[in-house]
Structure 1
Amino acid sequence: MKRLFLFAGLLASLAITSCASKKETKEEAGKYAVTTPLVMDTSFTKDYVSQIRSVRNVEIRAQEKGFLENIYVDEGQFVKAGQVLFRIMPKIYEAELLKAEAEARAASIELQNTKALADKNVVSKNEQAMAEAKLDQAKAEVALAKLHLSFTEVRAPFDGTIDRLPKKLGSLIDEGELLTTLSDNSQMFAYFNVSEPEYLEYQTNAKSRGSSQVSLLLANNKPLAQPGQVEVIESEFDSETGNIAFRARFPNPERLLKHGETGKVQMTMPLKGALIIPQKATYEIQDKTYVFVVDKDGKVHSRNITLAAKMPDLYVVSGGLSPDDKILLEGVQKVKDDDKVEYDFEKPQEVIAHLRLKAE
């Protein structure tokens, strides 16, 4: 009987010890780090999908009809301004020029004879004036014939790179037909769309920003070596999208960028008095972002917040939080609404100092 009492006492002792251990573990597990949002002036870099265009990109079209007699360039070739690119068979236009020059000589001779007769009062001065007008008309025909003949040589209007050649040697070319496209890629334009709030923020902080410099992230996720400058903002917003187009100019000394390429313009946007929290203090449900706010009794409550910008390790909050709110820094996946937790408060400056992005 004594042994039975001893065994029962041992079991009770073990049960008490086990309960105490579980309670201690639960209390230890329920202690979390808590901080508050940090208010500071900072900036963030935002990516904008952009369309890259040559500063000059023109279609080279035939100005005369005829057979394509010569092609002096190849696709992708760099050419100089004034360089001959194509020749359309000039025989007809050469003949027209010879005819016009002959008519001009005949008109000149006729004018000389008429003038000699007019000086002797054999013919009237009006007939001399008619002969002069006929000569002027013949000279105009010569100039026009020379112009048509010059159009048989298609020259580059500026330095640039030749695009595809859709017509082959010997093709019959109509007036106005496309021969190729010429692109001046020495500098490039990047067009990108900015929302109305971002446009207002950009313009409002133009003086404090001090620079309109931007960078370009290429399709291979590598940055272009040369920075660009925002130089033009269009005059109107798109009524359908609510965006306005910006244009940045980028130097392209190595001709790396081509007309029609895509990339991402990276623009630094200043933020005054921004409310910043660590990303790890948040969680998402159905594309909405939440934090756990700790009340004065130590209970946690989920709260939906609105984000203004995303930076490495940090979020800029535009709604849902105030600077005095205590938010759960760690353990957001372990707690649920109305849980009571023990916590250690960490100053937001120290929290941010340990993240990749340092406060500026």
Structure 2
Amino acid sequence: MKTLSLVFPVVGLAFFAASCTVKSTENKVEATKQVPVVSLTVMDTTVYKEYIADIQATKNVELRSRLSGFLEKIYVDEGAVVKAGQVLFQMNNEEYKSAYAKAEAALNIAISEAKKVELEKERTKKLVEKNIVSTTEADLITVQYKAALSKVEEAKAVLSQARTKLGQTLIRAPFNGRIDRILLKEGSLLEEGSLITNISDLNSLNVYFDISESEYLDLATDSNFSSNTFNKEVKLILANGLEYPHTGKAQIVESEFERNTGSISLRAKFPNAEGLLKHGASGKIAVPVSTGNTPFVHQKSVVEIQDKAYVYVLNDDSTVKMQPFEAGQRVGHYYIVESGLDEDQKIVFEGVQGLRNGMKVNAITHQQ
């Protein structure tokens, strides 16, 4: 029994010694972990700054009735491509046909009356020459003739107005374009000014976006700006996040800043031969901006926690510390460093998942 009591303490001491050996080994492994470190990369590159875009057709107009009457015939379907001058809708024109015929008859009567007075004028002139009638008669006939001619002109104007109204019963396409949704059906009663549909020219589209006064002043340093030929090539990002396959040219189209927002509008024109863009669509304009000499950090070095960015910085005592920084736009595999890091700091390049604050490492300079 005494022998057994001596064995257990010895075994316990052996286990304790082994445990200490394991912990000592683990600490040694931690202390000698090799990590690659780098400095911030300073680059002068181009980034794209995005702005909310307002996409508008080059031409987009409302087709409205100029007359009152019933919509008798619809010749096109919704979404149809139409040509300039093509008849799209027809209103009932019986009333306007009657008005035209009446005006035409009135003109013929006025012409006949004027001709009758003209003949009387010639006859009176001859009688005056023979001293049969006085010159007063001739003057009176001359006045009557001028009045008759005025009535002819008035009748012509009434006829022209009637012809115009009769023509307006046919509603035509003002230019080549695409028809929008048709709001009325055949047989609908139209009032003067009733909206029937819209038509858009989608061969090219204007995309408007606003920039601040400070951004405008940055653009004003462009070498072409002072020569009134300023333009900048921009990209269009569609609502689904994809890039539109064609680039556009941005130009300043306003002469003053919006008082409430302090912004000014630019317009970029984009070709649309494929018909992908539509009037009123949404998206973003991506404007290229030079960064100048700006510090960047590689994405492998960055740890993101709750929308905040961190890197592990190497201290003088070979330990690492998690340090937050303000990350800007991503460019390729790098993030712009807005603030929070210095160019002379050493940063762990990769393998940051296995690190923790205060951990001692064996730093090896890494070539990017």
Question: What TM-score do you get using the length of structure 1 for normalisation?
Answer: 0.83
The 3 A distance-change label for structure 1 pair 234 and 298 is farther
Q: Report 1:54-69 matches (<5 A).
A: 54-69=57-72
Partner of 2:270: 250
Q: CA RMSD in A?
A: 3.1
1:188 aligns with 2:188: no
Residue 265 of structure 1, CA deviation? 3.1
Does the 8 A contact of 1:32 with 1:343 survive in 2? yes
Partner of 1:117: 120
Partner of 2:153: 136
1:24 aligns with 2:28: yes
284, 293, 299: which one aligns with 1:273: 293
Q: Which moved more, 1:149-158 or 1:269-278?
A: 269-278
| Distance of 2:70 and 2:110 partners within structure 1 | 33
| Distance of 1:182 and 1:163 partners within structure 2 | 6
Partner of 1:353: none
Does the 8 A contact of 1:45 with 1:311 survive in 2? no
The 3 A distance-change label for structure 1 pair 58 and 288 is same
Residue 183 of structure 1, CA deviation? 0.8
The 3 A distance-change label for structure 1 pair 203 and 317 is farther
305, 310, 317: which one aligns with 2:330: 310
The 3 A distance-change label for structure 1 pair 211 and 181 is closer
How many residues align? The count is 345
SS at match of 2:287: strand
Identity percentage over the alignment? Answer: 36
Does the 8 A contact of 2:44 with 2:293 survive in 1? yes
| Distance of 1:9 and 1:68 partners within structure 2 | 105
Q: Deviations over 1:255-285 (max 9, x none)?
A: 2222222233333322211211112323345
SS at match of 2:32: helix
Partner of 1:217: 237
Residue 206 of structure 1, CA deviation? 6.3
1:126 aligns with 2:146: no
The aligned amino acid for 2:119 is A
| Distance of 2:354 and 2:208 partners within structure 1 | 46
Q: Deviations over 1:101-151 (max 9, x none)?
A: 111111112222222323315451222222221211111111111111111
Q: Which runs of 5+ in 1 are unaligned?
A: 351-360
SS at match of 1:74: coil
The aligned amino acid for 1:25 is V
The aligned amino acid for 2:249 is Q
Residue 196 of structure 1, CA deviation? 5.3
| Distance of 2:300 and 2:266 partners within structure 1 | 34
1:104 aligns with 2:124: no
306, 309, 315: which one aligns with 1:295: 315
90, 93, 98: which one aligns with 1:95: 98
Does the 8 A contact of 1:52 with 1:259 survive in 2? yes
166, 183, 186: which one aligns with 1:149: 166
Q: Deviations over 1:18-75 (max 9, x none)?
A: 344223212134x322211111211123444433221111100000111111111111
The 3 A distance-change label for structure 1 pair 111 and 16 is closer
Residue 316 of structure 1, CA deviation? 1.1
Q: Which moved more, 1:165-174 or 1:218-227?
A: 218-227
The 3 A distance-change label for structure 1 pair 337 and 11 is closer
The 3 A distance-change label for structure 1 pair 288 and 21 is closer
The aligned amino acid for 2:29 is T
SS at match of 1:192: strand
Residue 173 of structure 1, CA deviation? 0.8
The 3 A distance-change label for structure 1 pair 155 and 225 is same
SS at match of 2:72: strand
Partner of 1:354: none
| Distance of 1:185 and 1:169 partners within structure 2 | 27
| Distance of 2:213 and 2:315 partners within structure 1 | 37
Does the 8 A contact of 2:100 with 2:163 survive in 1? yes
The 3 A distance-change label for structure 1 pair 86 and 6 is closer
Higher Rg: 2
Q: Deviations over 1:165-184 (max 9, x none)?
A: 11111111111001111011
